[in-house]
Amino acid sequence: MSDVDAASMIDRRRLVQSLLAAPFLGVPASTAAASGERGLVGVWRRALDPDDRGVAQRWQGRRLAETLPLPGSLEQHQVGRAVSVDTPWTGDINDRSFFTAADYARYRAPGNVQVPFFLQPDSWYRGPAWYQRDIEVPAEWRGRRVELFLERPHWETRVWVDDRAAGHSDALHVPHVHDLGVLAPGTHRLTIRVDNRMIVEIGHNGHGVTDHTQGNWNGIAGRIELRARDRVAIERVELSPSLAAGELRVRALLRREAGAPAVAAVEVRLQGATHRAPVTWRSGEGEARLAIAVAAADRAPWDEFDPVLHEVTVHVDGGEQWQGRFGWRELVGTPDGFAINGRPMMFRGALECSIFPLTGHPATDPESWRRIMRRIKEYGLNHLRCHSYCPPEAAFDAADEAGVYLQIETVWANQSTHIGSGLPVDRWVYAETDRILAAHGNHPSFVLMTHGNEPGGGKAADGEKRRDAFLADYVRHYRALDDRRLWTSGSGWPEIGENQYHVTPTPRVQAWGEELRSRINRAPPETVTDYRDFVARHRVPVISHEIGQWCVYPNLDERRKYTGYLKARNFDIFADRLRDNGLEELAPAFVSASGRLQLLCYKEDIESALRTHRFGGFQLLGLQDFPGQGSALVGVLDPFWDDKGYVTGQEYRRFCAPIVPLARLPRRVLRSGEPLAFTVDIAHFGAAPIAAARVGWRVVAADGAELASGAFPERALPLGNAPLDLSAAPRLRTERATAAKLVVTVTAAGQTIAENDWDIWVYLAALAPTPRVRRADRIDAALLRHLEEGGTALIGLPPERVANHADRPVKLGFSSIFWNTLWTERQAPTTLGVLCDPAHPALADFPTTPHSDWHWWYLIHRAGALRLDGLPRGLTPIVRVIDDWFTARPLGLIVEVALGKGRAIVCGFALDGAGTDDPVSRQLVASLETYMASFAFRPATRVTAAQLASVTA
């Protein structure tokens, strides 16, 4: 089934079942009636309380003077303090050069403070803020208990009705529901104190609180409502479907006011049938349990391809009615990976980090989340990991409808705190997990949960041991309490025996701290590597943690989108860096070239996971940019989930989709006449096995000429990604250096099911003689004299002879930047590939695109980036190196200059000696030498001897 077909089926099912009539997965239907609910959207009175005097001075008893619209936040309306260098941001700042470095001085000036490490609000506030308004209790609510519903306050709330205290909550990720008691009809004063300080130290980098993502705002988002409850009220309903047993277990919790009749049973309605569940009362608390057997024909399962939802109604005779929906699904983990509803599956996930620049707070409306889920599916993913936070109800509803699997978390207890040592965060994590399960536990999309991200154990010698023991207890507790989802100790670590799956950073292309030792930077390009040996050591499925983290250059045109709470003033700094170095006009080209390199890196990361038999899946960091932690521009989508212009979902789905062809190539570079040996596997995690599939392949040159083709016998394609016995080794012959693609296509019943491709290069076995050109491996007095007198020279400088910057030196590597240099303390590489004009005559015999591709590895891995700041401004290199955006210095890999009567090309890599005899290096040098012997070799930039010598160490 294609993605389009699946989407159409989902839409038809929604129409038939009218599922949108129940927009939230567990709401007392009676509260939706006009007589039972009062919205409190509008202008509220407010007061700031930075010195925390309001409680002692009983501000709930006074009329507050200033106003603010709610829902919303102080920061959205620029209420608070101006940003300064002393602003106490919530979150770590790893690189503190902003506060001291001379090149940041202009951004520290009062009134012009611009920080480079995350998006910036116009104002900030930390502390209590008081919100107040008058409410009207209608006559028909007489004698009924009234609740105050706050969908998304940030963070702690305390509530008063008139002068009476009426509730307190420190929930962060779920609604606050305050019992106001029975209110007399008429006017009352409602006062809410919201405190956005670190109420419980849960880790100041967690995405529920940090300035790195949503910002530490103060206010109330989403719905703000008064709700009148019946004397016998439905507090919560838990739905536990068992697909294998064909049974839906229903558990309803009720509350009875003093003197109210004790109802004997509740009615449960499912698929047109009504069932009665007896209620057991203990004082004012009631519980009803019921197991409903459902025929196989009536329990169509829920999954990513067919997200069927079923409605349930629970009704109290003559009173409240609760409506909800659920999906029949069964997720299990085994040493062979995950299976859903008995079918093998792999999580293809990305992170969702509460990034909403216009509001700060996560969206609470369903349509915003439906768009996010569409974007996830458009890029071939099926999974969202909500990093160290839990999104609002609308996110779960949208994921239910779209068939997107969610992992939910509560904290990032590291850096500023740690877990398992008896600190307040330990108790809070349990309480918040309970609240999340109560609020969202019925959603079929809610399939995975952990306490949080990358937990710390503190500095004590036994800290990690205590952490692991605490998390083992946590997993055991919730596995026993709630078997509707799978549980693990943490995202990243630890791997403990209680886990039902692991999320670990070990199996990925580049790990934190690996730098130029990672396989993408260290080893020649291939598509063979997988992680089967790692997976084989585990008895539960493994999900790869935060793979990718490949950066792209900032898209400066994006700045116009930041019209709300958070502004991209960091991008203004990056634009100034380019302007100061004369590179401003190259910004769009830097985005495009670095973006294509980023895509190449992500493709290898994802395919490495898909190639791994029995692998549980991956969680990308990310599909969307992460604007904090130093400005981690790791997405092919921007923070608004918009494309950046260098890749589409259609192209991304060639290598990231339910069905992906995978070619295992030991090498991507070969000589004409050599065999291109490869094997083909199919990662097939689609809706069903394919009974009769044809797998064909072809090698197509850049000019469209077909170099070879073939097909394997028709065969069945089972689900999973077990290796297939498919191989070929065509000999490729060309008459000149050629860039080509190996394309593998899967068809069934005459329709293309999936297609993928891999870039390869074919070079001549023997190069034609090139005109004699003087070669040099250094710039010395003799060479300068040779040039002054009218000679030519091709200069190849080994990297140790290339001049570098003393402050923040360039670290050239093949891959894109990992995460970002500000947060990683300039881990290598600090560059974003190359930029060139393929039509330049110097590259006439060297097939290339404008950006780094795999063949450039053979040159870049042994090269140094040439400093151009000592050469005349405006010099255009033949091949440019894109520097880190925090420094944005002009760099080159190959430049041409005129000196005196002579001319030269300077390369940041050796021309001869060890490591220079590969086909790529030989071809590029030959192309340069041919160019230098031609009339086209007329460098436009003249330099002095001193300027030319400045590129050498």
Residue 329 burial (CB count, 10 A): 20
- pLDDT score of 771: 82
Range list of H helices, 762-902: 781-788, 821-824, 857-860
- Per the CB < 8 A criterion, the answer to whether 837 and 876 are in contact is no
DSSP E strands in 560-705: the ranges are 566-567, 617-621, 659-664, 669-671, 678-684, 690-701
3-state secondary structure of 898: strand
3-state secondary structure of 570: helix
pLDDT at position 281 is 96
Model pLDDT, residue 310: 97
Nearest by Cα to 544 from 500, 508, 512, 519: 508
What are the backbone dihedrals phi and psi of residue 463, each rounded to the nearest 5 degrees, phi first? -60, -45
Domain parsing of the chain, residue ranges: 3-26+231-331, 34-229, 348-565+597-652, 660-763, 775-949
- Domain 34-229, CATH class in plain words: mainly beta
CA 132 – CA 544 distance, rounded (Å): 47
| Token couple for 512 | 């934190």
Torsion of CA 647, 651, 655, 657, to 10 degrees: 110
Number of C-beta neighbours around residue 39 at 10 A: 10
Q: What is the pLDDT of residue 30?
A: 38
Bridge partners of 792? 903
Output the pLDDT for position 22: 30
pLDDT computed for residue 725 by the predictor: 86
Matching CATH number, 348-565+597-652, of 3.90.950.20, 3.20.20.80, 3.30.1330.80, 3.90.1200.10: 3.20.20.80
Strand 383-386 and strand 331-334: the pairing is unpaired
pLDDT of residue 317: 86
What pLDDT is recorded for position 19? 27
Distances, alpha carbon 436 to alpha carbons 22, 242, 364, 430, 451, in Å: 20, 21, 16, 10, 11
pLDDT at 909: 98
DSSP letter string, 442-480: T-TTEEEEESBBS----SSTTHHHHHHHHHHHHHHHHHH
Please report, for residues 43, 609, 913, the alpha-carbon distance to residue 618 in angstroms, rounded to integers and kept in the order given: 45, 7, 41
The token duo for 168 is 């307190």
Q: What integer pLDDT is reported at residue 36 of this predicted model?
A: 83
Q: Does residue 547 contact residue 840 with C-beta atoms inside 8 Å?
A: no
Amino acid at 325: R
Strand order in the sheet with 310-316: 27-28, 321-326, 310-316, 265-270, 273-282, 285-293, 247-256, 232-242
Asked: is 3-26+231-331 a CATH 2.60.40.10 domain? The reply is yes
Q: What is the CATH number of domain 660-763?
A: 2.60.40.2550
Cβ neighbours of 187 (radius 10 Å)? 10
* Ranges under pLDDT 70 in the chain: 1-35
Whether the domain at 34-229 and the domain at 348-565+597-652 fall into the same CATH topology:
no
Asked if residue 590 lies in contact with residue 556, where contact means CB atoms within 8 angstroms, the answer is: no
Write down the pTM of the prediction.
0.95
User: Rounded distance, CA 491 to CA 387, Å?
Assistant: 8
